[in-house]
Chain A
Amino acid sequence: MVRLATGSVVAAAGRRKRRMVDWDAIISRDGPAVWRTAYRLLGNRADADDCFQETFLAALSVWGRQAVRHPRAMLQRLATARALDRLRRRYRRAHREGGVVEWDALRSADPRPPQLAEAAELSDRLRAALSDLPPKQAQAFCLYYLDGWDYQQIADHVGATVNAVGVLLHRARHRLRELLGEVGTYDAR
């Protein structure tokens, strides 16, 4: 008998007996929240899409190792971590190459009102500053201020005590305040 294994046939055979995790339902239910978390931090659709996929790939290995009681919380934490990684890479590259163009900012050729321009600039400066924080501080900060988690939830997910979360947030704010005060350091546009 001459047989060779091919992906398509094996995939057809394997699809019947898969899956302990119902990814279809998870993506339908929690996908939008995960995508919003990624988009808030990254600020553009292309990066958010990539981060979305990376998040679910990371989730696959997490689900393989442990039972996950709160899928959305776990996915948001993973999305935050992946988005922060991307932010770091982006601003590191920006330092090397002299700036990053945010194409979503060019959606309209009309001049923006000054308030909008200021808000957009603030957002970019905060993103840049977040990329400069230690990973744990950045993650705690994003989960608390952007995703609305409380201290206990963050402590459970990052493996720290509630007091340690308070310290992380305090240090994160302190460092961000310093970074935002350094005018002109981050030229994100």
Chain B
Amino acid sequence: MRDEPNDGDPSLDRAIDQLRDVPPPDGPTPLLAQRTLAMLWEAELQAERNRGRWIVRIAAAIVMGVSAAAVTFSFLQRHPHNVASDHSGQTSPSPPPAMRKPPPPSVTVAHGDEPPHAIAPQATDFEPPQTSRPRPAAFASAVTLTGRVYYDGRPPVPRLIDVSACPQCLAALRGPIYDESMLVNDDGTLQNVVVSVSAGLPQGTRIPVPPDPLVLDQKYCTFEPHVVAAMVGQEMLLRNSDRLLHSSHSMDSDATPLFNFALPTVGQRRIEPFQAVETFKVKCDLHPWMSAWVRVLPNPYFDVTRSDGTFTIRDLPRGIYRLKAWHELLGVVEKDVTVHGGEPVVVDFTFPGR
């Protein structure tokens, strides 16, 4: 038995020879090999998935930490005297005038021969949150209108979209996708409803067109968002965030220049400004399930309900208005509302069940 110390035990040596030399049957079977291979792939995939989850968690933690630091820093910048407290929890008295934060620089205006005089800017502690849509100058001191849109019926089960016909989509997707034409939450609120002011605005008021273009993205083989709204004169940016070919096509549009072009990979293309009030559909010629709705409106007082069914219309001047809620399948619901000014106005819409 090779070079090990031979202790001369014939029964042990015979047993070893028996185990070693008797030929085992053929194996593994092809089925076993195949199953083992599938098991290994699945295990590798699971490990990859877990790694991805950890990366997302760590990134989220970093983002939250940075956000918290930014908020704290911003608060300290604005209210330095509010946090000057000792360990007993008592706030110290306000710092003497000499230690206070210097006022912001004033603007000097010269009028002809008059000596220049300083105009002190308004001291404001609070600035309203910025929105992407510009505040119309004529109604700068106006009211915010908020509300929810409900569906009074049994929430339909979202239809699963079969993307198996397109292997590229199947590979790009991170999960199944569902039809977004009718998204009702558990509490009955409805998504993708365009709420707009349809009548009541003062005649002859010039309202600037939002300078930012409307963005319609083709991502994960769907249009995002599914419903968008814009003002007449506003531009649209059609984007492709997928690394695969999409062919966007505007359907049934009377006033908007017809577009029908392909974006072969990640990229974007600018569409001419909208010419008139209308509602039209955008589809992808290659992926029949991809569709979006664009609603062009005459004024900037509109919003599309978000995932919780809420909408917000800002800076609406005082007056009596007619509001219109539009849904691609359920049609239109209208409501009159009086805006007195001062406090925000809450208006809810309900679409009857089908």
**Please, how many angstroms separate the alpha-carbon atoms of A52 and B33 in the complex?**
9
Q: Select one of B12, B172, B220 contacting A1, CB under 8 A.
A: B220
**Please, how many angstroms separate the alpha-carbon atoms of A15 and B7 in the complex?**
55
Known A-B contacts A10-B49, A123-B18; the reply to A60 vs B40 at CB < 8 A is yes
Known A-B contacts A35-B28, A48-B27, A174-B7; the reply to A12 vs B171 at CB < 8 A is yes
B162 to chain A, nearest CB (A): 12
- Closest residue of chain B to A127 (Cβ to Cβ) is B19
Q: Select one of A9, A16, A28, A40 contacting B24, CB under 8 A.
A: A40
Find residues 16-62 in chain A having any chain B CB closer than 8 Å to their own CB.
Answer: 16, 18-19, 23-24, 27-28, 31-32, 35-36, 39-41, 45, 48-49, 52-53, 56-57, 60
- Closest residue of chain A to B7 (Cβ to Cβ) is A173
The answer to whether B171 touches A1, judged by C-beta atoms less than 8 angstroms apart, is no
Q: Select one of A2, A170, A174 contacting B180, CB under 8 A.
A: A2
The answer to whether B27 touches A45, judged by C-beta atoms less than 8 angstroms apart, is yes
The answer to whether B174 touches A10, judged by C-beta atoms less than 8 angstroms apart, is yes
The answer to whether B176 touches A4, judged by C-beta atoms less than 8 angstroms apart, is yes
- Cβ of B5 within 8 Å of any chain A Cβ, yes or no, is yes
B81 to chain A, nearest CB (A): 46
Chain B residues whose CB sits within 8 angstroms of the CB of A23 once the complex forms = 37, 40-41
A170 to chain B, nearest CB (A): 6
Chain B residues packing against A (C-beta within 8 Å): 1, 4-5, 7, 9, 11-12, 14-16, 18-20, 22, 24-29, 32-33, 35-37, 39-45, 47-49, 158, 170-178, 180, 183, 220, 222, 224
Per the CB 8 Å criterion, the residue count for chain A at the interface is: 54
The A contact surface, by secondary structure, is helix
- Cβ of A14 within 8 Å of any chain B Cβ, yes or no, is yes
- Closest residue of chain A to B11 (Cβ to Cβ) is A180
Find residues 112-134 in chain A having any chain B CB closer than 8 Å to their own CB.
Answer: 119-120, 122-123, 125-127
B44 to chain A, nearest CB (A): 6
B304 to chain A, nearest CB (A): 14
Known A-B contacts A45-B27, A166-B4; the reply to A6 vs B176 at CB < 8 A is yes
The answer to whether A31 touches B33, judged by C-beta atoms less than 8 angstroms apart, is yes
**Please, how many angstroms separate the alpha-carbon atoms of A122 and B158 in the complex?**
66
